[in-house]
Chain A
Amino acid sequence: MKLQRFSRIAAGLAVTALALTACGSDNNTTSSASKSSTSPQADSACATGTLNGEGSSAQKNAIEEAISGFTGQCSAATVNYNPTGSGTGVKQFNGGQVDFAGSDSALKADKGEVAAAKTRCQNNDAWNLPMVVGPIAIAYNVAGLDKLVLTPAVAAGIFTGDIKTWSDPKIAALNSGAKLPTAAIKVFFRSDESGTTENFTKYLKGASGGVWTAAPAKAWSGTGEGKAKSDGVSQGVKSTPNSVTYVEWSYAKDNQLGIAQVDNGGGPVELTGESVGKAVVAAKADGVGNDLRLKLDYTTKEAGAYPVLLVTYEIVCSKGLDATKTKLLKSFLTYFSATDTQKGLETIGYAPLPDAVRTKVDAAIKAIS
């Protein structure tokens, strides 16, 4: 009878647990309504179901914003995104565990990713759709220095450790009239492996004319002190005078750091949504048809184009998902790439996709079947 009593208690607990499952609410509209005021678009008609994505953490804030807005107007749709990193995202996508992947770099053929993605999509091509443009800021903390201009060669010099003080003649030559301290330059870098590091070193390698020699990689090969994550490096710069780092624009903004202007040869360019957009337009299409992988031109001398940036792709199957998921995927991506959504991303430190690229992305989304 003791056991009977136990089983009664256990049954009671189980019933309570089951009853609890019925009383939660997914409806957070009251708190998020103020944020997601984008009007519903005709072409992103609401689909239903659940969509799972995984990958790049560089686009996390952007896609969360889009998910928030999208699910705010489509109450029957759920989109999950786990920012576990580009490599993991691609792996999970190719393993069939998620419906789309977010990645800082397009699928790589030499690593077998393209072939694996094709198998995963039941012998249909996977497409790389550029969706989020994340500028990388060269953020500094020098008292009294409101404006700092750097060329790629000088930036590379700072980050390799060749240029050691702020008053170095190379920096002074670019910033005539600025009050540069004689203090040593303190460089912070990302101690974890990061797409930001990879893209920043790609830029230095591509544009510095040989000053940066190390091969671009997710791990940092320059000088300085390591800090974990974007949060760590931006906090480091904020709390250390005369320091400098490279970090996503949003973090530089959130922490109110100084942001260097970059002079690629066409004059100093300030980091704005517009100037980044110009650089993205200058990028060349590297894929075939609707596979929209971009080849960024880091050496662009176009006036007013800010060239230090990374593009995150959504990697999707062109065909091969089941019908419900496909519908939801198209509906969500259409919302994500819409002008209003992209425009809204600028306030949180991303640059909107320029229209020239956006129309291509839109066409590709329409072509998913």
Chain B
Amino acid sequence: MATATSTTLAPISDSRKLRNHVATFAMYACFVIAMIPLVWIIWTLVAKGAGLLGDPHWWTNSQRGITSRIQGGGAYHAIIGTLLMALVTALIAVPLGVGTAIYLVEYGRGRIARAVSFMVDVLTGVPSIVAALFIYALWIGTFGLHRVGFAVSLALVLLMIPVIVRSTEEMLRLVPRDLREAAFALGVPRWKTIMSIVLPTAFSGIVTGIMLGLARVMGETAPLLILGPYAKAINTNLFSGNMAALPTMINQDRVEALKPAVDRVWSAALTLILLVMVLSLLGRLVSRLGSVKTSR
């Protein structure tokens, strides 16, 4: 009976065919529309900014002594500033974020866990300018310190923690219960289960989350404008002096009408995108190298 109906299946009606085609077309159209701005941005940046990137000085020199009328100089000072601030941000935010996520997934029960979870949600919604002003009030208003790279890192930490907590939490929840129960059944203590079973299993997902967080904070501009005044010379000291970063470098020359400065703005923007891209590729690589073999 069943085989008989399947062989004599009525041909698909025209209206269904039409609807199918319309839906397919709509899907493709959505895809193309979503891609337009992305491709446009990348195309514009490459077309306008690629010129300077070929010059080795771009990667090794600072802007010291360069004015908007002079061609030359590089973005080294800004690249190193962005990387250093991001590195310090990650060093603080990653342990805090991953630790919080472990607490929420493995230990957290009851009211405290709910409160922590709620706070993380609130933190997710904090705009970068508010985080920056909070650190400004704390660092400069209360402690009376100067605007330095480390203060920027602190503001970025506030922005990065919720991203890491949320993504790590998701990844830890994906680790099958069976694995944990098997470990417990063998008499493995809880902390050891977390360290050697749960975390390694979720490793690649956690790294991806960290990279997403890093990518977000590296392009963040508000904390830099408020806490990290631009400098044209190289400064690798996070605790003293003005420190350049790629977003502030872009902002500095943005209002210029003269060609050398405008060219540098495009190139700095392209450099920032490349930097984030390289970091996420590195993250992919790290997570692939470090992940548990999934083949069984």
Chain A positions within 8 Å of B, measured between CB atoms, are 2-3, 5-6, 9, 13-14, 17, 20-21, 23-32, 35-36, 50, 52, 54, 57, 61, 64-65, 67-68, 71-72, 78, 80, 82-83, 95-98, 229-231, 234-235, 251, 254-255, 348
Contacts and interface: CB of A to CB of B under 8 A. Distances in A.
Contact of A5 (B63, B255, B290): B290
A23 B232 CA distance: 16
Nearest to B231: A80
Contact of B292 (A2, A9, A61, A72): A2
Contacts of B80: 20-21, 24
Given A6-B290, A97-B146, A32 B70 contact: yes
Summarize B's interface: helix, strand, loop or mixed. Answer: loop
Nearest to B71: A31
Per CB-CB distance, the 3 closest pairs between chain A and chain B, nearest first, are: A31-B72, A2-B200, A24-B76
Interface string B226-252: 000111111110000110000000001
A80 B233 contact: yes
B220 to A, nearest CB: 18
Contacts of B67: 32, 35, 61, 64-65, 67-68
B195 interface: yes
A3 B200 contact: yes
Contacts of A30: 72
A72 B255 contact: no
A50 B241 contact: yes
17 contacts: A2-B290, A5-B290, A24-B76, A24-B80, A26-B233, A27-B64, A28-B63, A28-B64, A31-B66, A35-B67, A68-B66, A68-B70, A71-B233, A80-B230, A83-B252, A229-B255, A255-B257
Given A17-B83, A25-B61, A80-B242, A57 B255 contact: yes
Most buried by B among A14, A26, A98, A348: A26
A29 B292 CA distance: 52
Interface of B: 60-73, 76-77, 80, 83-84, 87, 140, 146-147, 195-196, 199-200, 203, 229-236, 241-242, 252, 255-258, 282, 286, 289-290, 292
Most buried by A among B195, B231, B235: B231
Contacts of B290: 2, 5-6, 9
A88 to B, nearest CB: 10
A329 to B, nearest CB: 15
B229 A54 contact: yes
Given A21-B80, A36-B65, A61-B68, A82 B230 contact: yes
A9 B64 CA distance: 34
Given A2-B200, A2-B292, A35-B70, 20 more contacts: A20-B83, A24-B61, A24-B80, A25-B76, A26-B61, A32-B65, A35-B69, A50-B242, A52-B231, A57-B255, A61-B68, A68-B66, A71-B233, A78-B233, A80-B231, A82-B230, A95-B140, A97-B146, A231-B256, A348-B69
